[in-house]
Amino acid sequence: MDRRSFIGAGIVAGGMAAGGMPRVAGAAAAPDLGFPKDFVWGCATASYQIEGAVKADGRGPTIWDTFSHTPGKTANGDTGDVACDSYHRYAEDIGLLKNLGVKAYRMSIAWSRIFPEGRGQPNQKGIDYYNRVIDGLLAAGIAPYVTMFHWDLPQALPGEWRNRDTAKAFADYAGFMAGKLSDRVHRFMTVNELRCFTDLGHMQGIHAPGLQLPAAEVNQVRHHGVLAHGLGVQAIRAHARAGTEVGIADNTSIFVPAIETPEHIAAAKKAMRDENAMFLTAIMEGAYPPEYLAAAGAAAPKVQAGDMAAIGSPLDFVALNIYTPTFVKADPSAPRGYTPLPHLPQSPRMASPWLYVGPEAAYWGVRAVSELWKPKSLFISENGTSADDVLNAAGLDDDADRIMYLRNYLGQFRRATAEGFPLHGYFLWSLMDNFEWADGYTKRFGIHYVDFATQKRTPKLSAQWYKELIRRNALV
């Protein structure tokens, strides 16, 4: 059956179980809410957002230590100095994961715990910490999925991402860690969210290192970001055991067709490719699209021989962080044939002002990436929401709005799996409330509430909901 008749059959028959097996008798009229067998359910976190212990065991300072300690850069002057103190409480946090029944945990490694100055002599105490975490996860039956870089760049690297050498230093570090961990870790992600650590840090200046550079320098930083990814893929493959899978966790900008007709769908796919030209498009195609280079003109990135081949290194999987959509329509009068549509002042959004609710981003993100570039495999490396969490008089966090958000997005991910797109797993952001970058501790994304004064973790209602979803392997 091709994809289209498969969907049609599902509708006519009142739902097909994932994999095309007819549903059990008695449930024939109910919509099918199941996910594929062996779908990987997980939670995600990142080192600087949860670990704290910024001076422990030889960890070197990072650009986020510097930035968060600079007055006016984060809400309330919040820093990651303590965060969730997961550096010391990791065993408890593994317990939270185990209680949920997740099969996988996406975590990141703090580069400056391994190489305090970004390069040079490795710090065994930092390696030991990740060995403890990974061994603890495996003992709990949880597979670690490891991101090598989630924004906490060692401060000692001169010129940070403005310096091309940083991409090489990243590859050396990533290869080194893959050599240490690939006996137990089978999937690595190079970097998290290219657009965030390049543009937010170097164009808008709202993330570390807080720069507002001219276009040519921003494009060069972006180039160093994708180059780091590509050299990192090669280094991980060179040092990891055979069979290790390598991918990226990217926040590709996602365009949702305003109307599901062929012309608007084509417009959305074109927008996905064009608007991500300097990031995922370059990685999946091993080239910058000529239209991107032409539009950048004199500000186009300076590319050296061999760069694009490295950037285009084949991946075992693509992982997407999916939060918010841009709706788009076909528009023959627009230069590129499409027009992105603005959100309205009253468009629904969650506690973070940028977090517009658009569950269709889940389906269209997976579908467009699948159809444009045919990756072997896809994961959702992050999806989740902030909410105005408060503990009630009973000490509980009944976050029904987070459940609403997650249920809607997961319904759209389920549509993608039911239609046969190769989506194999989902990591909820986040296991627990944590340091939300420039928003400090004012925005909570966890399914466990963290009291930052006492470090007490309390499962929210959404944790119970996620646990039940995992138990049934179906939307609840």
Nearer to ligand GBH, 389 or 436 (CB): 436
User: Per-residue x/- marks for ligand GBH, 77-116, CB under 6 A?
Assistant: ----------------------------------------
Backbone angles phi, psi at 317, to 5 degrees: -160, 160
- Among 93, 382, 389, 399, the residue binding ligand GBH under the rule CB under 6 A is 382
Residue 251 is a binding residue for ligand GBH (CB under 6 A): yes
Residue 321 is a binding residue for ligand GBH (CB under 6 A): yes
Rg of the chain taking only CA atoms, in angstroms:
22
Residue 354 is a binding residue for ligand GBH (CB under 6 A): yes
Residue 299 is a binding residue for ligand GBH (CB under 6 A): no
**How many CB atoms within 10 Å of residue 91?**
12
Nearer to ligand GBH, 133 or 320 (CB): 320
To the nearest 10°, report the CA torsion of 259, 262, 265, 269.
-170
In the bound state, the residue with its beta carbon closest to ligand GBH is 354
- Among 97, 191, 196, 227, the residue binding ligand GBH under the rule CB under 6 A is 196
* Span 116-145, contacts to ligand GBH by CB under 6 A: none
Residue 206 is a binding residue for ligand GBH (CB under 6 A): yes
The Cα–Cα gap between 153 and 173 comes to: 12
- Whether the CA torsion 242, 245, 248, 254 is positive or negative: it is positive
Region from 31-39, 191-199, 371-379, 396-404 binding ligand GBH, contact rule CB under 6 A: 191-199
Residue 413 is a binding residue for ligand GBH (CB under 6 A): no
Active site residue ranges? 193, 382
The Cα–Cα gap between 292 and 278 comes to: 8
Give the number of residues in contact with ligand GBH, rule: CB under 6 A: 16
Nearer to ligand GBH, 176 or 449 (CB): 449
- Whether the CA torsion 18, 410, 249, 80 is positive or negative: it is negative
The Cα–Cα gap between 65 and 51 comes to: 13
Residue 68 is a binding residue for ligand GBH (CB under 6 A): no
* Span 434-473, contacts to ligand GBH by CB under 6 A: 436-437, 445
Region from 24-32, 82-90, 192-200, 453-461 binding ligand GBH, contact rule CB under 6 A: 192-200
Tokens read off for 135: 């061994």
User: Per-residue x/- marks for ligand GBH, 33-52, CB under 6 A?
Assistant: -------------x--x---
Nearer to ligand GBH, 96 or 240 (CB): 96
The one-character DSSP state at 450 is E
The Cα–Cα gap between 72 and 70 comes to: 6
Tokens 């994809």 belong to which residue?
3
The least distance separating ligand GBH from the CB of residue 260, rounded to whole angstroms, comes to 27
Adjacent-strand bridge partners of 458: 449
The least distance separating ligand GBH from the CB of residue 318, rounded to whole angstroms, comes to 15
Omega before 257 cis (within 30°)?
Answer: no
Q: Identity (one letter) of the amino acid at 46?
A: A
The Cα–Cα gap between 421 and 54 comes to: 41
Region from 158-166, 189-197, 358-366, 389-397 binding ligand GBH, contact rule CB under 6 A: 189-197
Nearer to ligand GBH, 312 or 440 (CB): 440
CA end-to-end distance (rounded Å), the chain: 28
Omega before 430 cis (within 30°)?
Answer: yes
The least distance separating ligand GBH from the CB of residue 150, rounded to whole angstroms, comes to 6
Do the beta carbons of residue 390 and residue 450 sit within 8 Å? no
- Among 129, 173, 421, 429, the residue binding ligand GBH under the rule CB under 6 A is 429
Q: Which of 162, 141, 163 lies closest to 212, judged by CA?
A: 162
**What is the DSSP code string of 11-49?**
HHTT-B-TTSPBPPTT-TTSPP-B--TT-EEEEE--HHH
Residue 474 is a binding residue for ligand GBH (CB under 6 A): no
The Cα–Cα gap between 466 and 462 comes to: 6
Region from 81-89, 98-106, 190-198, 419-427 binding ligand GBH, contact rule CB under 6 A: 190-198
Q: Which residues bind ligand GBH (CB under 6 A)?
A: 46, 49, 192-193, 196, 206, 251, 321, 323, 353-354, 382, 429, 436-437, 445
